[in-house]
Chain A
Amino acid sequence: HRSPLNDFERLRATELLAAPTDPLPVLLEWGSAEQCAQHCVTSLTCRAFHHNRQSQLCQLLPWTQHSPHVQLQKNIHYDLYQKKDYLRDCIVADGSSYRGTRATTEKGLRCQHWQATTPHDHRFLPSPRNGLEENYCRNPDRDKQGPWCYTIDPNVRHQTCGIKKCEDAVCVTCNGEDYRGTVDHTESGTECQRWDLQHPHKHPFHPDKYPDKGLDNNYCRNPDSSERPWCYTTDPGREREYCRIRICKKRPRPHNVTTGCFRGKGEGYRGRVNITVSGIPCQRWDTQSPHQHHFVPEKYPCKDLQENYCRNPDGSEAPWCFTTHPTIRIAFCFHIRRCPEELSTPECYHSHGEHYHGHISKTRKGITCQPWAAQAPHVPQISPLTHPEAHLEENYCRNPDNDSHGPWCYTMDPRTPFDYCAIKPCSGSTVPSIVENPDAVTFEQCGRRDERLQWKGR
């Protein structure tokens, strides 16, 4: 059940361009990414391959991004797969498969080229199979200390390079939700299943669906706020397992700590609200009744699971808690106020701000305004040509359409066509209060439902 892709790191929408002098890569072959990987693994020269998802063509490459005279380039038609051993800057087991480009010993001595026999003569000569190239650290004799090399110092024949094991190279803070190291085996030594594969284990953690969880290749990750990084295993009999990774000594200071309100998803909320909206007291985090759970305070040291306070240890939409009501397991604490996140300037506007001619040119989120005369990133429907009397100068905030919510502008953020500005209404500004009922209103094409479709019918 091991996929040949397990030996590769995938770079999406990326192409590896070689200098024109290099020999053209091996011809194209047809197949799925896994079939291409199988070809590449069995080829002595292949170190990477392009896979064109549309044409299902693949191009085997004898180089990687660390080879000389090559460069990575965006190309939406290709995914680039490179052998991990050539990319990783850490070793697995004794590092016999290490093919990185480290060329200095742990004491900082430069390595002698394997091709050379001076200053030190030796019998480890390069061959297509043994990976001895240039003067890179290697472990041709399975030395327990890991990759080593002969040194250019006549007095030091050879020395270990001190390359760290992958489980030590990148340590884990808190529960490892932001661990992005390259450990790809579980604590029992089973190899991990790739996150972008659904075999041998089907799972919900598609990398596309969780772009912020770093679900790359088959590396250990923690997308669901478990106690520590884990992965699905390539053993059909064992769905998932934790990985053994060094814990960082230093605990990071929690950022965005708030107490009277919560920001974003409230992962930094450290206030003392401990009751749900429905008035049900929260269950203490250090008890397992009435609801059993795995959010044991000592296992989540960075989440401040104190008492029975609302918290967000798992990246949910908002702070939440287990409730003391036996039939209601969890409740959000949306009733905690959100912290205001808007910028504001000392300037203010009267009425709707239709006569505001100030020089503020930022939205309330701090995004720079697009010049009114510009056509990008947004093609304006309102411009100095269409509204000559509205003083649409530069990229200053204005209210050419008498928007009742004040001065606004097109924004330089391609995703946000327009937004209101960081200007507040002047206090006492005479915005007409709500108009009493206007004359009879009518509606078309909306608000009608088939009253017969009541529940009974269902």
Chain B
Amino acid sequence: IVGGQPGNSPWTVSIRNRAGSHFCGGSLVKEQWVISTRQCFSSCDADLTGYEVQLGTLFKDPGPGDPNQQTILIARIVCGPSESELVMLKLARPAVLNSRVALICLPHERYVVPAGTVCEIAGWGETRGTADGNVLNVARLPVLAHDECNAALRGRLKDSELCTAPLRAGVGACEGDYGGPLACLTADCWVLEGVIIPSRVCARTDQPALFIRVSLYVDWIHKVMKM
């Protein structure tokens, strides 16, 4: 996260490969389900033996004694509908919810976040020197109206994408944050409205940032968890 500061996002998880290295973020939407982006995984039937998620700690690489850290193996990956760029990861066992680990809400189907809503991104990714890269960082971004964003992107915006406005200070997600949440406060609850996807440049000050619009895929998410 570039232009952010250390913060607390108890639904944000660190996705780690067999060597235990963090490589992407994710969001805990059910005790045994994490949402991330397809861009982080080699294929829809990737063998994720030894891959795991880490929750309950603010540290990217916590010491052995971190009191609330949970590390859970990933059992399965399920790819979302075409174009969605979403994946769901089924954990080998349910996460234990506590003050450090919480579920983020899923939006209502096809819900549109009102323009101007200030949402929050979180991750352990690249800070480009703007904050401590060893801890979880968060940053706030205002949602940009769909048509305004479409104009700024000269008509290239897809229905499945959600925009936040560029900030002069250069605030945004970067390498290692992909798959993490864009969370917006709605009715006093934090709701997963967007998923961070790779962009060509981090924290642009001249273009809106794009996220996967989760409300378009909520029916698929519920279907996967049900089935």
Residues of chain A whose beta carbon lies under 8 Å from any beta carbon of chain B: 204, 208-212, 264-266, 276-279, 316-318, 327-328, 331-332, 334-335, 338, 341-342, 364-365, 378, 381, 401, 403-406, 415-420, 424, 433-438, 440-443, 445-451, 453-455, 458
A277-B199 contact given A403-B220, A440-B187, CB 8 Å threshold? yes
* Selected contact of A447 from candidates B39, B146, B191, CB within 8 Å: B191
| A317 CB to nearest B CB, Å | 5
A180 to B97, CA, bound (A): 44
A344 to B222, CA, bound (A): 25
Taking A332-B23, A401-B223 as known contacts, 14 extra A-B pairs with beta carbons closer than 8 A to each other, sorted by chain A number, are A278-B2, A332-B176, A381-B227, A403-B220, A405-B81, A434-B159, A435-B110, A441-B108, A443-B186, A446-B29, A446-B103, A446-B104, A458-B6, A458-B58
* Selected contact of B175 from candidates A208, A332, A418, CB within 8 Å: A332
Q: Is the CB of B82 within 8 A of A364?
A: yes
A403 to B82, CA, bound (A): 13
A276 to B58, CA, bound (A): 26
* Selected contact of B226 from candidates A266, A335, A381, CB within 8 Å: A381
Q: Using CB atoms, name the residue of chain B closest to A265.
A: B42
Q: Is the CB of B7 within 8 A of A454?
A: yes
* Selected contact of B223 from candidates A264, A277, A279, A418, CB within 8 Å: A418
Q: Using CB atoms, name the residue of chain A closest to B104.
A: A447
Q: Is the CB of A449 within 8 A of B102?
A: yes
| A375 CB to nearest B CB, Å | 15
A451 to B78, CA, bound (A): 32
* Selected contact of B202 from candidates A210, A266, A278, A448, CB within 8 Å: A278
Residues of chain B whose beta carbon lies under 8 Å from any beta carbon of chain A: 2, 5-11, 17-20, 23-24, 29, 38-45, 47, 49-50, 58, 76, 78-79, 81-82, 84, 99-100, 102-112, 114, 126, 128-129, 135, 146, 159, 174-176, 178, 183, 186-191, 198-202, 213, 215-217, 219-220, 223, 226-227
Q: Is the CB of A403 within 8 A of B227?
A: no
* Residue from B175, B183, B190 whose CB has the most chain A CB atoms within 10 Å: B175
Contact residues of A: prevailing secondary structure: loop
Contacts of A278 in B (CB 8 A): 2, 126, 128, 174-175, 201-202
Q: Is the CB of A334 within 8 A of B111?
A: no
Q: Is the CB of A365 within 8 A of B102?
A: no
Q: Is the CB of B201 within 8 A of A449?
A: no
* Selected contact of A438 from candidates B11, B108, B174, B200, CB within 8 Å: B108
A364 to B217, CA, bound (A): 17
Q: Is the CB of A334 within 8 A of B105?
A: no
A252 to B105, CA, bound (A): 50
Contacts of A341 in B (CB 8 A): 43-44
* Selected contact of A335 from candidates B108, B111, B199, CB within 8 Å: B199
| B34 CB to nearest A CB, Å | 14
Q: Using CB atoms, name the residue of chain B closest to A378.
A: B227
| B167 CB to nearest A CB, Å | 16
A331-B105 contact given A338-B39, A420-B81, CB 8 Å threshold? no
| B126 CB to nearest A CB, Å | 6
Contacts of B226 in A (CB 8 A): 381
| A449 CB to nearest B CB, Å | 5
| A412 CB to nearest B CB, Å | 13
Contacts of B17 in A (CB 8 A): 316-317
* Selected contact of A209 from candidates B2, B24, B49, CB within 8 Å: B49
Q: Using CB atoms, name the residue of chain B closest to A458.
A: B58
Q: Is the CB of A416 within 8 A of B78?
A: yes
Q: Using CB atoms, name the residue of chain B closest to A435.
A: B110
Q: Is the CB of A279 within 8 A of B102?
A: no
Q: Is the CB of A447 within 8 A of B189?
A: yes
Q: Is the CB of A210 within 8 A of B50?
A: yes
Q: Is the CB of B175 within 8 A of A453?
A: no
Return 25 A-B CB contacts under 8 Å, by A number: A204-B20, A208-B50, A277-B199, A277-B201, A278-B175, A279-B201, A318-B40, A332-B23, A334-B39, A334-B198, A403-B223, A417-B227, A418-B227, A420-B82, A434-B146, A436-B112, A437-B112, A440-B187, A441-B111, A443-B191, A445-B103, A448-B102, A448-B190, A449-B11, A455-B8
